[in-house]
Structure 1
Amino acid sequence: MTRTIGLAPSADEIETLARAAMERLPAEFAVHLQDVLLQVEEYADEVLLAEFGITDPYELSGVYEGTPLHEKSIDHSGRMPDRIRLFRAAILDEWIARGNETLEHLVAHVLIHEVGHHFGLSDETMHALEDAAS
């Protein structure tokens, strides 16, 4: 990935890091992500923030939108595809605030968190798994 010195990473660079993280996932997970769209946007929109009761767009770095795998049925055919949206400004703000983490690691962390929602894991379960892996 080529970057211009002094400029914040672009949305394309964040997407490249996220796609690389997806490629590193075990095959048994990756096969279930083939139809999930990945998008990188600057900020979460106001409608999405309101859904979560968030007023500061820097507090939401990513979101999974769709139906978790364990809830899917034939009734879900014809719906919009599931998607993971990552929010560049919030990710960069968190990266700066943490100070001791690579952007690659943080993007992978956010992406994997949203992938967890695709598999139906709760935030609490994901945090417990992350703590156990630390």
Structure 2
Amino acid sequence: MPPDWAAIAPPSLAAFEAMAEAAYAGLPEDFRALCEGIIIQVADFATEEVLDHMGCESEFDLLGLFTGRGLAQGGAQAFTGQMPNMVWLYRRPILDYWAEGEDALGDVITHVLVHEIGHHFGLSDADMAAIEARP
């Protein structure tokens, strides 16, 4: 019997955050070790300030963002007054991207998570693809 599509709703912010935390927990342990103390935040969209800073034309242009000081910037050490390393995942743009593709939503969330962390740590696209492909 097919699902009742009329009753299916998109994941809430809380459900999306749980999916993101599960995706993070499923990443290879050595990769997560690089991210000690990272905080994953979920919002419907980036703020106007972030969108302007990133040069986005639409609120749907930005799927995620890493903020903080990663290893590539010399910074696992904490400085007084330094904000913690954070990955922002933007629910609505990710859902929009997912709806236009064929990947499972969990795979899209994992991809954005790895991409945001990976670029901040200086990983290449090939490095990030290898991380996502590992069991």
TM-score (norm 2): 0.81
Distance in 2 between residues matched to 1:102 and 1:91, nearest whole Å: 11
Distance in 2 between residues matched to 1:127 and 1:60, nearest whole Å: 21
Deviation at 1:130, TM superposition (A): 3.1
Mind listing any 5+ residue stretches in structure 1 that lack a counterpart? Answer: none
Q: Report the equivalent of 1:15.
A: 17
* Contact 1:68/1:117 (<8 A) preserved: no
Q: Report the equivalent of 2:94.
A: 91
When residues 17 and 73 of structure 1 are mapped into structure 2, their CA distance, relative to the original with a 3 A threshold, is closer
Identity in percent: 31
When residues 115 and 128 of structure 1 are mapped into structure 2, their CA distance, relative to the original with a 3 A threshold, is closer
When residues 74 and 92 of structure 1 are mapped into structure 2, their CA distance, relative to the original with a 3 A threshold, is closer
Structure 1's consecutive aligned runs of 4 or more residues displaced over 6 angstroms after TM superposition are none
Task: Choose 42-51 or 31-40, whichever is displaced more.
Answer: 31-40
Distance in 2 between residues matched to 1:116 and 1:11, nearest whole Å: 24
Distance in 1 between residues matched to 2:106 and 2:12, nearest whole Å: 13
Deviation at 1:120, TM superposition (A): 2.3
Distance in 2 between residues matched to 1:87 and 1:74, nearest whole Å: 25
Deviation at 1:55, TM superposition (A): 2.0
- Residue 130 (str. 1) matches residue 129 (str. 2): yes
When residues 10 and 127 of structure 1 are mapped into structure 2, their CA distance, relative to the original with a 3 A threshold, is farther
Mind listing any 5+ residue stretches in structure 2 that lack a counterpart? Answer: 1-6
- In proportion to residue count, which structure has more helix? 1
In the alignment of these two chains, the number of paired residues is: 126
Q: Any idea what SS the aligned residue of 2:72 has?
A: helix
Distance in 1 between residues matched to 2:31 and 2:122, nearest whole Å: 12
User: Which of 35, 38, 45 is residue 40 of structure 2 equivalent to?
Assistant: 38
Deviation at 1:127, TM superposition (A): 5.9
RMSD across aligned positions (CA): 2.5
When residues 63 and 14 of structure 1 are mapped into structure 2, their CA distance, relative to the original with a 3 A threshold, is same
Deviation at 1:84, TM superposition (A): 0.3
- Residue 77 (str. 1) matches residue 76 (str. 2): no
